[in-house]
Amino acid sequence: MTRTFATGGRQTGMARILVLCSLAGGCAMTGEADRTFVVVDEAARNAGYGIEIDGVARERVLPLSLYEAEVGTIVGPDSLRDVPDASFVVVSGPNGDVTAFEAGEVRPDLLFVRGDAAAVEALALALGADLESEESGFLLLSPAIWEDASIADAVEGIVEALPASEGGAPMHDRTALVETAFEGAGVLSEAIFDALPEELGDLVGVYSTPGGTLLVNAAGEFTVCGGAAEIESGVVRYESGRVFLIDRRGTSTVLTLGNGGRELRGPDGTRYALVEGP
Amino acid sequence: MKRRGFVKLGAMSAALGSVPAFIARAFAQDACEDDSTRIAAAASAYRRARATGRPLLVLVVPETEDMIAYERQHAFGEWLNHGGDETLAMLALTEVFVGRMSHVRRVLPSTPAEDAVMLLVETSELPSRVVPLRAELPNLFDGSPWAEGMTWEERERRDEARIDERVAILTSLLRGALVPDAATISRRVAQAESVRNLEHRAAVHYARAMASSAETRASMLHDLAERARERLVGERVPGSRWARSSGCGTTIEGEEDNIGVACGMGHVPARSVRFLYFYESLSY
């Protein structure tokens, strides 16, 4: 049974993101190059694995935030390894397997948490996150959930915190990536969709402004073309009249449908008109 | 896994109000590549097919502008103009578009790389399945019949036989992919019935025709064929233009300013005179 409620009240995460967005001219949801979030799952911790930052052991169930200037080390019963340079790193299982994820591979606004319900609800309240219960745990939703969780006080009763896939599944390793993986630098795999919403087919087309084009294809992918070059691509999602373009870095841009589906409108009012073929 | 609206909207709602930076970067640059118009044409055809509850049939323009293209545009002309009721009735079930596979592939990434004569795009599915229809079409304009010592009559007989063969091959390809069995026809009917415009429900009429007696079937297929002729023979097929050539010069229908181009192909059989000009800069 799924249960959802909003805790409200805490808007700092969203506010911070919007400020960052306006400063940067875009909205990189998370996974900035100078930051790595690290988690160690329950099995790895029980086997003796942990994280040191600049030589200081950090025992923590919730994510750790590791900045570029800091030295992160995965410490095992009989091993020492550097924390890889990635946006998200998971140390999992009794052998301390290390899996690195880039920003586009992990939902930046979701954290999968296991623990007793009261503890998780307390954590959600502290983080200002929405909470949904799953069969195997809970999902916390908040725009800056990783950053907020990395600085939150420990909550007794929380057993494990992990990245979540597009569908909300906990991600210990790459086997959970089938829903969200971007394959290489080329066309995205159709396998990332378990089912494309029918409405996506109605979005297929070339949209234009005087300086370039946006192509939405029938596999739920988009390409932005400037000049003769392809300069951006990613996946398209559709929800209640809103079109979400999610680029390879995980940046989401929301557009709305207008003019009976014959144009897309950007958040700044820019109109991208459907180009009708001859 | 069944997705939840909560999950889907979560990350995205955070981006509300963000500036679409990469789009701004793109549109600040020069105009897009010339092919964008042709890609847009392919996308429009796909949208029309979906909107009318039909699969999309792509008559493929070869990537190279050579004799293969020349032969194929005539083969398509023979097929559409002289294909008979059965062929045209099947075509009534489809949205037809003429284009290069490289352009179609931008809209439908599963389009194969290897050349095909036609593509059938199943628009009721997402991602849409692209079925390549491949066959070797006999050439009409190769060789030198006169040098081979053929009489005029012999050449005419050879040309007519090859045209018959090309028409038969194209019809067979289409039948095998579009209406191979009752189950597929039922699927076409279901897709057709999903749209509101009754005019587009050719699949419904086709299914009824196939379930009728021979005489009634012929009459119903003729009606369907006439609808297809009106759309595909009487008007321009999207992505191409109708043109005529008797071997010396080409006249593009609807163009005021037709300029004669190089002669050299000599005789063109009567059924091949009207052909699908591929709307590209063919150097003939």
Residues B106-147: tens digit of each pLDDT: 899 899 989 999 999 999 888 889 999 999 999 988 766 666
**Partner residue opposite A18 with nearest CB, options B5, B17, B37:** B17
- Round the average pLDDT of chain B to a whole number and report it: 81
- Output the pLDDT for position B54: 94
User: Residue B226 pLDDT more than 70?
Assistant: yes
- The answer to whether residue A185 scores a pLDDT higher than 80 is no
The stretch B219-227 carries a mean pLDDT of: 95
Query: Which residue of chain B has the CA closest to A179?
Result: B1
pLDDT band for position B31 (cuts 50, 70, 90):
very low
* Residue B213 in this model has a pLDDT that exceeds 90: yes
Comparing A246 with B76, which gets the higher pLDDT?
B76
Please tell me the predicted confidence (pLDDT) of residue A220.
84
Q: Cβ separation of A231 and B123 shorter than 8 Å?
A: no
Question: Between B6, B109, B238, which is nearest A277 by CB?
Answer: B238
Q: What band does B199 get if pLDDT is binned at 50, 70 and 90?
A: low
- C-beta atoms of B27 and A209 within 8 A: yes
| Amino acid B125: pLDDT | 84
pTM over 0.80: no
pLDDT of residue B198: 61
Mean pLDDT computed over A168-182: 50
| Mean pLDDT confidence for B213-220 | 94
Q: Are B118 and B61 in contact (CB under 8 A)?
A: no
Cβ–Cβ gap A244/B33 under 8 Å: no
pLDDT at site B58: 98
Please, which pLDDT band fits residue A173 given cuts at 50, 70 and 90?
A: low
* The pLDDT value given to residue A166: 64
Winning range, highest mean pLDDT, from A233-237, B155-159, B192-196: B155-159
Other residues' Cβ atoms within 10 Å of the Cβ of residue B110: 16
pLDDT at A130: 87
pLDDT at A260: 73
Whether A21 has a pLDDT exceeding 70, the answer reads: no
Q: Angle at the Cα of A74 (from A70 to A78), degrees rounded to 5?
A: 140
A211 touches chain B (CB under 8 A): yes
β-strands A110-115, A138-141: how paired?
antiparallel
Whether residue A70 has pLDDT greater than 80:
yes
pLDDT band at residue B59 under the 50/70/90 scheme: very high
Q: Which of residues 168-227 of B touch A (CB under 8 A)?
A: none
Cα gap B207→B272, rounded to integer Å: 32
Q: Is B30 in Cβ contact with A211 (below 8 Å)?
A: yes
Query: How many angstroms separate the Cα of B125 from the Cα of each of A141, A160, A219, B174, B201?
Result: 32, 40, 10, 19, 18
Mean confidence (pLDDT) of chain A:
73
Q: In this structure, are residues A127 and A6 in contact, taking their beta carbons and an 8 Å threshold?
A: no
The B residues from 8 to 37 touching A (CB cutoff 8 Å) are 8-33, 36-37
At B71-104, the pLDDT tens digits run: 999 999 999 999 999 999 999 999 999 999 999 9
Confidence label for A182 from pLDDT (cuts 50, 70 and 90): very low
A251/B contact by beta carbon, under 8 A = yes
Mean pLDDT confidence for B217-239? 94
Dihedral sign computed on CA atoms, order B129, B204, B99, B26? negative
Range with lowest mean pLDDT among A11-25, A169-183, B37-51, B137-151: A11-25
Q: CA of A258 to nearest chain B CA: how many angstroms apart?
A: 16
Q: How far is CA B262 from CA A6, B247, B283, in A?
A: 74, 9, 9
Pick from A26, A218, A251: CB nearest B108: A218
- Which residue from B21, B42, B50 is facing A202, i.e. has the nearest CB? B50
Q: Dmax of chain A from CA atoms?
A: 68
A196 to chain B: closest CA residue: B126
DSSP letter for each residue of chain B: ----HHHHHHHHHTTTT---HHHHHHHTSPPPPTTHHHHHHHHHHHHHHHHTT--EEEEEEPSS-SHHHHHHHHHHHHHHHHSHHHHHHHHTTSEEEEEEHHHHHHHSTT--SS--SEEEEETTSSSPEEEEE--PPPPSS-S-TTTTT--HHHHHHHHHHHHHHHHHHHHHHHHHHHSSSHHHHHHHHHHHHTSS-GGG-HHHHHHHHHTS-HHHHHHHHHHHHHHHIIIIISSPPTT-EEEEESSB-EEETT-S------B------GGGSEEEE-SS----
What is the token pair recorded at B65? Answer: 């502008």
Is the pLDDT at A13 greater than 60? The verdict is: no
Kindly state whether B108 is in contact with chain A, defined as any CB-CB distance less than 8 angstroms: yes
Q: Which pLDDT value is given to residue A231?
A: 64
Chain B residues lying within 8 Å of A244, measured CB to CB: 12, 15
Task: Give the pLDDT score at A239.
Answer: 73
Write the ipTM: 0.78
A231 with B39: Cβ contact below 8 A:
no
**pLDDT at residue number B263:** 58
Quick one: average pLDDT of A131-158? Answer: 87
